[in-house]
Amino acid sequence: MKKNIGLFWLKDDFRLKKNLALIEATKNHEKVVVFYLYKKIKYDNQEAQKWWLGKSLEDFKRKLNYYNINIEIIKTDSYKSFFDKLFKKKDFSIYWNRTYEPNYLSFDKYLSKNLTLNKINFKIFKGNILNEIDVKKGDGTPFKVFTPFWRTAEKFYLEKIPQIEKKISKRKNKSSFFKEIINVQEVYPKKKWFKKFDKYWSPNEESATKELKSFISNRIESYSDARNFPSRLGTSKLSPYIKHGQIHVETIWEECAKIKKKGVNKFLAEIGWREFNHSLINFFPHMIKGNYSKKFDKFPWKKNPTFLQAWKKGLTGYPIVDAGMRELNNTGWMHNRVRMIVGSFLVKHLLINWMEGEKFFKNCLLDYNEANNISGWQWVSGCGADAAPYFRIFNPILQGEKFDKEGEYVRKWVPELKNVPNKFLHKPWELKNDNIIRLGKEYPYPIVNHEQARAKALNAFKKI
């Protein structure tokens, strides 16, 4: 055991299982301190995740108490300025797991160089991903299409030598290291709108494991079909836990590999899309701030604050769209099928730039992940890699009738329409019965006409 302190830089790694950097720190050092860098400017545009982060820090602090390990939260405006001060100290070694975003990977190089120059021991470990960003075609170029990527990535992962599972070891005594630390309460959003999340989520490793086991036992066989119906619990609902590292995707893979049920391959392909999205943003980093497909740089987007606000609040007059936006605002999550519908509506019916939707989702989603969110929005907009073609325009009426036929989802999130018969539920303007619903007062008329909006979108696409 080394006598100096082992520091573990905690990012999205709120788990004990498969936390390689934390395990290594406890293996090598009697004194271990976990630190979290709370960069306020980063979370100013991710309000929902402040709640999940605060809960995760509180839970992880309790867990690490058992091992006599402290978590110290440091508020900083800049990772660089924090580490530049840290380089001046000599009584520590540092460990962390990779985050597969270009800025983080670039910063890893900066840290590696300066820690080496300052003769400080460090070690970087694989983060929450199956394959690190090294899956390429035979000619050494990156994949741009999902199916061949995933075929190669699966094979690449399966051929690796499995690691021996290691565990965190308990310390004799707790140690401290940093002087200027903050209380976890400073992390939570100032507005209390997040309180309703408590009804829906328990941000901890145990809940993630429980959700996975429940999904595999009860729902994975029907996943291929059920995942399209938002009124049914057909998806895994693991995405916020994966994002914050309460569960490792290797754990998900291993548990799925133990069973032979229909739906497993389809579900693992969704993990594959996450891998693909991380590959895309690292090989094509220009898509983080703009369109992957440069021809969309000339797309004639419209600026319409009134329409954008109606979309954000779930007041577009299209029930399936409004239900999705209200689910997001109330739970910090939205069903994946509905994410595609509301995304298509914003960029194709309203002709509003996908970046506005991406920014709003970033602020409201508990599972916000840079690679998934940006790639998802560019997929639905038609400007991404292996994207849906722009002329594929979801009809929000038909989507509602097909995937929420009995209206359970719409009636849950748009209760104004609870008495509208199924025949008119997804097009209430055709009902023409003020005794059931007063359009324009209790629920809005559609802000655009579907057929006219579709024609405008196709004409706009022709211009590029």
Q: Among residues 68, 336, 363, 401, which one is catalytic?
A: 336
> Tell me: the pLDDT tens digits for 365-402?
999 999 999 999 999 999 999 888 888 899 999 999 99
State which fold the 128-162+204-283 domain adopts.
1.25.40
Share of the chain above pLDDT 70, in %: 100
The whole-angstrom separation of Cα 356 and Cα 364 is 13
Q: Which residue in this structure is represented by tokens 């992390």?
A: 187
> Tell me: the pLDDT tens digits for 97-111?
999 999 999 999 999
At residue 412 the predicted structure's pLDDT band, cuts being 50, 70 and 90, is very high
Q: Among residues 51, 377, 379, 413, which one is catalytic?
A: 377
* pLDDT for the residue 284: 97
Alpha carbon 357 to chain centroid, angstroms: 14
The SS3 assignment for 95 reads strand
Highest-scoring range by mean pLDDT, 43-47, 203-207, 432-436: 203-207
Task: Identify the CATH number of the domain defined by range 294-462.
Answer: 1.10.579.10
Q: Please list, residue by residue across 382-403, b when 16 or more beta carbons sit within 10 angstroms of its beta carbon and e when fewer do.
A: bbbbbbbebeebbbbbebbbeb
At residue 463 the predicted structure's pLDDT band, cuts being 50, 70 and 90, is confident
CB within 8 Å of 99: residues ≥ 6 apart: 11, 12, 105, 127
Q: Among residues 101, 132, 270, 401, which one is catalytic?
A: 270
Written as six digits, the tokens of 340 are 């595609």
At residue 41 the predicted structure's pLDDT band, cuts being 50, 70 and 90, is confident
> Tell me: the pLDDT tens digits for 55-75?
999 999 999 999 999 999 999
Closest CA to 203 of 55, 11, 36, 384: 55
Q: What is the mean pLDDT of residues 189-207?
A: 89
Q: Residue 7 above 90 pLDDT?
A: yes
Q: What is the mean pLDDT of residues 19-29?
A: 96
408 is catalytic: no
Q: Among residues 9, 201, 273, 379, which one is catalytic?
A: 273
Q: Among residues 68, 255, 301, 363, which one is catalytic?
A: 301
Task: Identify the CATH number of the domain defined by range 5-127.
Answer: 3.40.50.620
Instruction: Return the domain boundaries, the chain.
Output: 5-127, 128-162+204-283, 294-462
* pLDDT for the residue 240: 98
Q: Residue 29 above 80 pLDDT?
A: yes
96 is catalytic: no
State the burial class of residue 1 (Cβ atoms within 10 Å of its Cβ: 0-12, 13-18, 19+).
Answer: exposed
* pLDDT for the residue 170: 87
* pLDDT for the residue 190: 83
301 is catalytic: yes
* pLDDT for the residue 389: 84
* pLDDT for the residue 306: 98
Q: What is the mean pLDDT of residues 45-50?
A: 92
377 is catalytic: yes
9 is catalytic: no
Q: Among residues 201, 333, 354, 413, which one is catalytic?
A: 354
* pLDDT for the residue 377: 97
| Sign, CA torsion 209/215/221/226 | negative
> Tell me: the pLDDT tens digits for 222-267?
999 999 999 999 999 999 999 999 999 999 999 999 988 888 999 9
311 is catalytic: no
Closest CA to 354 of 293, 437, 427, 432: 293
At residue 191 the predicted structure's pLDDT band, cuts being 50, 70 and 90, is confident
Q: What is the dihedral of CA 168, 8, 121, 102, to 10 degrees?
A: 120
User: Global pTM?
Assistant: 0.96
* pLDDT for the residue 236: 96
* pLDDT for the residue 44: 81
* pLDDT for the residue 388: 80
Compute the C-alpha angle 261/265/269, nearest 5°: 150
More confident residue, 166 or 24: 24
